[in-house]
Structure 1
Amino acid sequence: MEDLKEPKRKRNAQPWKKSKLISKDEEAIPDIEDIFSDKETQKIRESLLDWYDHHQRDLPWRRKQTNPLQVEEEEEKEKRAYGVWVSEVMLQQTRVQTVIDYYNRWMLKWPTLQHLALSSLEEVNEMWAGLGYYRRARFLLEGARMIVTKGDGFPNTVSSLRKVPGIGDYTAGAIASIAFKEVVPVVDGNVIRVLARLKAISANPKDSMTIKNFWKLATQLVDPCCPGDFNQSLMELGATVCTPSNPSCTLCPISSQCRALSISKQDKSVLVTDYPTKVVKVKQRREISAVCVVEILGTKGPIEGDQSDSGFLLVKRPDNGLLAGLWEFPTVNMSQEADLTTRKKEIDHFLKKVFRLDPQKTCSMVLREHIGEFVHIFSHIRLKVYVELLVIHLKGGMSEFFSKHKNEGPSWKYVEKKDLSNLGLTSGVRKVYTMVEKFKQSKLSTDSAPAKKKRTNMRKLRSTGVN
């Protein structure tokens, strides 16, 4: 990610050395016909780097401070490596335009690895809220703490980077090549698409042997003088030109080397988009959960809009598994579809077990209603969520409630309504809360209608002189 105004690079100033990222066994993969010739390799490198110089997007993680001596101090390299790491992790499964704002906020709050290492998981999750795949955020924090604790500086090779939690081959290659100029490849979905079309590879792109073949091809192509820029040019081409559905072949700088394009010109029944081969997605697992939004009233009524001094109970999810360590409203996972009565019984059992909430003893029920359901989609799960609102008064007050629950059961907390929006809640939890707020507004309008009609009728009576 070099500065756009730097002088034109001197390429091939040193003999190219094969990356150590691929083992000798992997280098022995067959399909020799897929290997690029030396002439092809040189042409692709030159064409892509020239194109990248003129067409790369202006993204915050690609910017760096101008250094008149063209020498990067170790501290600058580490800061850049940190920025590349954060951006690459955020970009996994997330659109660039979405990531930009998150990246800028993140770097403003934690400008260095050391700043991040001092933060808490809850702070990180709050900053990450809305990006999804929260495991990525946890690994960033764990990795930062590990690097800082070891005290050896930022890992600067693929082999050392792979030892950091959450850093795989792709992220290691990106950091090592971009920040430290190690001559190693990167292979992500964009790179696979470009390579599959360049060599018209019709093999299953998800197959382990095929993936090794893509790494072999990428290893051959990576430019020895500008490995970081070359890797970014390959990814940029896939993201902006060689797209999945509507590739802009006329704008592609390496279209003359593209075998898929050549085949499609000769045979109209073959399309460039036939490569890589489409893989049938694994069917999503169906799950069902019942969510109970427990609102504890203060001195005001159950539905007072933003003026209510109420609060909500949140439960922390387990430290392992889906959405690990994140906060949610009390939730019960159901083994199968269940009617409202069954769901309420399951929820009551959960509330009594975790909070000792018992309408007969510890609290009085003000309102309890089923307010709807929705389907929340994860990459591998289709989750149907039933939502109900339970509004209560605590008979003994908040202080007595908290004193009875010290160091017991799952982690939970009480959050005042005014603070709820500042928490790093997942999109699914926010959907639940939005449903609750809409229900309240609807109920408030319905309940106030008779009173409003009565006041209107009284005004009419007075205007006609009727007492």
Structure 2
Amino acid sequence: MPVTICLHFETHCLAGNLNKRYSVSMEEKKRVLMSLKSKKRARRSREIPPKESDDIEDISFSKDETLQIRASLLEWYDENQRDLPWRRISGGSDERDKRGYAVWVSEVMLQQTRVSTVIDYFKRWMNKWPTLHHLAQASLEEVNEMWAGLGYYRRVRFLLQGAKEVVEEGGSFPETVSELRKIKGIGEYTAGAIASIAFKKVVPVVDGNVVRVISRLKAISANPKDTATVKSFWKLAGQLVDPCRPGDFNQALMELGATLCSLSNPGCAVCPISAQCHALSLSRQNESVHVSDYPTKVVKAKQRHEFSAVSVVEILDCQEMTGSQSNSKYILVKRPNEGLLAGLWEFPSILLEKEADLASRRKAIDNFLQSSLNLDLKESTRIVSREDIGEFVHVFSHIRLKMYVELLVLHPKGNRSIEDEKLDKESITWKYVDGKNLDSMGLTSGVRKVYTMVQKHKQTEQATIPGRRRKTAVRR
């Protein structure tokens, strides 16, 4: 009968450093120790790579990991943070509302948009509406024009509505996530960003950059879009957030994902938290594993293809027909207040059921102008010129829109000026805009592309057909 004795020894578990008490025979002790040594040697020789966690709900950061990540990341952020205008606004008690407002505006602008693009937009916005109360007095048309080019216009509609809500409720900017979530357009991410960055609340934020960093730190291969996975990312981010500098830590985590821990070419060699990165450890143990494998790539929904006919309608003043200086105006129509590009201005256009030839497109445009603006194009004397300008594809997040563009130059009936024209204003909202104002208007990138095409066409025609000076002057 073997003699059994109580032996105390420490084992290093993959789940963390744990002290365990074993009651084993001498032979059993030797077998366990040999097994541990064998596994360590195998790992060094890349025979047994670290294992990925199968159940994301069981994943967590240990206390030591958390402290190391916080210290390393904040030190890196202090030395490498980008100089951005919304970070310069003081967080003093006398400017708490301004700080909260600035963070809100910047975070809404930064959604789906590059930082380099946002900087100038943010500066112009804050110059025009420096406080929440200034913004609450603005119209939807004003904020749409200021926003033009940033895309995802629903963001700015909600921003305006939210500002009006806060002012109507007394004007004091809410500080907590629960209070911020009550405001129109503020979701979990934006609420966490405002609360932590502006008001130093110890709450996490999770955006695409944070998901990428955490998924690599823990080698999480689960679908990052899955509801349970998203919930786990928020839990893990909550474990990491620094209690003393929550806003700085959240910005550091996002900054790391936006710069070093990039999607396809991560800078692991200079990453401040590479020592805690499980994905990097896996890649060193197994050549078939790459850090960029995390997070798991999700197949995007296929974009639908749509087609539209766009008519840039230029109406000449009656004086232009005698060859005087051009004073033509363009018709812009307002899109419906709901749906894609809601409430924005564009040239008259109509969606087509499918790709269409020139005759079909013109017929569709003619019907639209007749029914919506009461512009009858059947009178041949009304049309000065009508030219097919070209086509291009404008890409939205979920739509590939092929736009066929024409320039339709009209003149008023008889000797009446354009102000005398009685277009139907009840069926659709529209307005005349002269060329100078059109150049300075805040137009969407799609509308701007259309107008640029028309201007280039006019310049080319003027250069190639010098004998048609009067006609080209009319088209200016």
Q: Quote how far apart the aligned CAs of 1:293 are.
A: 0.7
Q: Quote how far apart the aligned CAs of 1:450 are.
A: 8.2
1:31 is matched with which residue: 56, 73, 86? 56
Structure 1 outlier segments of 4+, above 4 Å:
299-302, 360-363
Which residue of structure 1 lines up, in the alignment, with residue 417 of structure 2?
397
Which residue of structure 2 lines up, in the alignment, with residue 333 of structure 1?
351
The amino acid across from 1:283 in the alignment is: K
Which residue of structure 2 lines up, in the alignment, with residue 130 of structure 1?
149
CA 300–271 in structure 1, closer or farther in 2 if over 3 Å, else same:
farther
| Distance of 2:291 and 2:377 partners within structure 1 | 65
Which residue of structure 2 lines up, in the alignment, with residue 97 of structure 1?
116
The amino acid across from 1:267 in the alignment is: N
In the TM superposition, what whole-angstrom CA distance separates every residue of 1:169-222 from its partner, at most 9, and x where no partner exists? 100000001111111100000000000000000011111111111011001111
SS of 1:237's partner is helix
User: Which aligned pairs between 1:7-406 and structure 2 lie closer than 5 A?
Assistant: 31-65=56-90, 72-73=92-93, 75-299=94-318, 301=320, 308-360=326-378, 364-395=382-413, 396-402=416-422, 405-406=424-425
Tell me, yes or no, if the aligned pair for 1:295 and 1:389 is still in contact at 8 Å.
yes
SS of 1:358's partner is coil
Tell me, yes or no, if the aligned pair for 2:70 and 2:249 is still in contact at 8 Å.
yes
Tell me, yes or no, if the aligned pair for 2:373 and 2:428 is still in contact at 8 Å.
no
| Distance of 1:248 and 1:218 partners within structure 2 | 21
CA 363–207 in structure 1, closer or farther in 2 if over 3 Å, else same:
farther
Cα RMSD after superposing both structures: 2.1
Consecutive unaligned residues in structure 2, runs of 5 or more = 1-53, 470-476
| Distance of 1:144 and 1:183 partners within structure 2 | 24
Which residue of structure 2 lines up, in the alignment, with residue 436 of structure 1?
454
In the TM superposition, what whole-angstrom CA distance separates every residue of 1:154-177 from its partner, at most 9, and x where no partner exists? 111111111111111100000001
Tell me, yes or no, if the aligned pair for 1:186 and 1:215 is still in contact at 8 Å.
yes
Q: Quote how far apart the aligned CAs of 1:268 are.
A: 1.2
Which residue of structure 2 lines up, in the alignment, with residue 8 of structure 1?
none
| Distance of 1:150 and 1:253 partners within structure 2 | 44
| Distance of 1:196 and 1:271 partners within structure 2 | 13
The amino acid across from 1:344 in the alignment is: R
Which residue of structure 2 lines up, in the alignment, with residue 24 of structure 1?
none
Q: Quote how far apart the aligned CAs of 1:52 are.
A: 1.1
SS of 1:100's partner is helix
| Distance of 1:228 and 1:450 partners within structure 2 | 64
Q: Quote how far apart the aligned CAs of 1:362 are.
A: 10
Q: Quote how far apart the aligned CAs of 1:32 are.
A: 4.8
| Distance of 2:461 and 2:65 partners within structure 1 | 69
Tell me, yes or no, if the aligned pair for 2:217 and 2:278 is still in contact at 8 Å.
yes
Q: Quote how far apart the aligned CAs of 1:152 are.
A: 4.9
TM-score (norm 2): 0.84
Bigger Rg, structure 1 or 2: 2
Tell me, yes or no, if the aligned pair for 1:127 and 1:424 is still in contact at 8 Å.
yes
Is 1:447 matched with 2:472? no
TM-score (norm 1): 0.85
Tell me, yes or no, if the aligned pair for 2:136 and 2:163 is still in contact at 8 Å.
yes
Which residue of structure 2 lines up, in the alignment, with residue 12 of structure 1?
none
Farther-moved stretch of structure 1 (348-357 vs 193-202)? 348-357
Q: Quote how far apart the aligned CAs of 1:445 are.
A: 2.2
Q: How many residues align?
A: 414
| Distance of 2:390 and 2:167 partners within structure 1 | 47
| Distance of 1:190 and 1:209 partners within structure 2 | 18
CA 218–448 in structure 1, closer or farther in 2 if over 3 Å, else same:
same
Tell me, yes or no, if the aligned pair for 1:357 and 1:363 is still in contact at 8 Å.
no
| Distance of 2:89 and 2:374 partners within structure 1 | 55
SS of 1:394's partner is coil
In the TM superposition, what whole-angstrom CA distance separates every residue of 1:138-163 from its partner, at most 9, and x where no partner exists? 11111111111111511111111111
Q: Quote how far apart the aligned CAs of 1:257 are.
A: 0.4
CA 235–363 in structure 1, closer or farther in 2 if over 3 Å, else same:
farther
Tell me, yes or no, if the aligned pair for 1:299 and 1:309 is still in contact at 8 Å.
no
Which residue of structure 1 lines up, in the alignment, with residue 429 of structure 2?
411
Q: Quote how far apart the aligned CAs of 1:275 are.
A: 0.5
Tell me, yes or no, if the aligned pair for 2:389 and 2:453 is still in contact at 8 Å.
yes
Which residue of structure 2 lines up, in the alignment, with residue 13 of structure 1?
none
SS of 1:295's partner is strand
Consecutive unaligned residues in structure 1, runs of 5 or more = 1-28, 66-70, 452-467
Tell me, yes or no, if the aligned pair for 1:297 and 1:310 is still in contact at 8 Å.
yes
The percentage of counterpart residues that share the same residue type is 65
In the TM superposition, what whole-angstrom CA distance separates every residue of 1:253-287 from its partner, at most 9, and x where no partner exists? 11100000000011111111011111111110100
Q: Quote how far apart the aligned CAs of 1:359 are.
A: 3.2
| Distance of 1:58 and 1:368 partners within structure 2 | 50
CA 362–156 in structure 1, closer or farther in 2 if over 3 Å, else same:
farther
Tell me, yes or no, if the aligned pair for 1:362 and 1:394 is still in contact at 8 Å.
no
| Distance of 1:126 and 1:416 partners within structure 2 | 16
CA 361–397 in structure 1, closer or farther in 2 if over 3 Å, else same:
farther
Which residue of structure 1 lines up, in the alignment, with residue 22 of structure 2?
none
The amino acid across from 1:393 in the alignment is: H
In the TM superposition, what whole-angstrom CA distance separates every residue of 1:213-250 from its partner, at most 9, and x where no partner exists? 10110011111121111111110111111111111111
Tell me, yes or no, if the aligned pair for 1:356 and 1:362 is still in contact at 8 Å.
no
Q: Quote how far apart the aligned CAs of 1:405 are.
A: 3.3
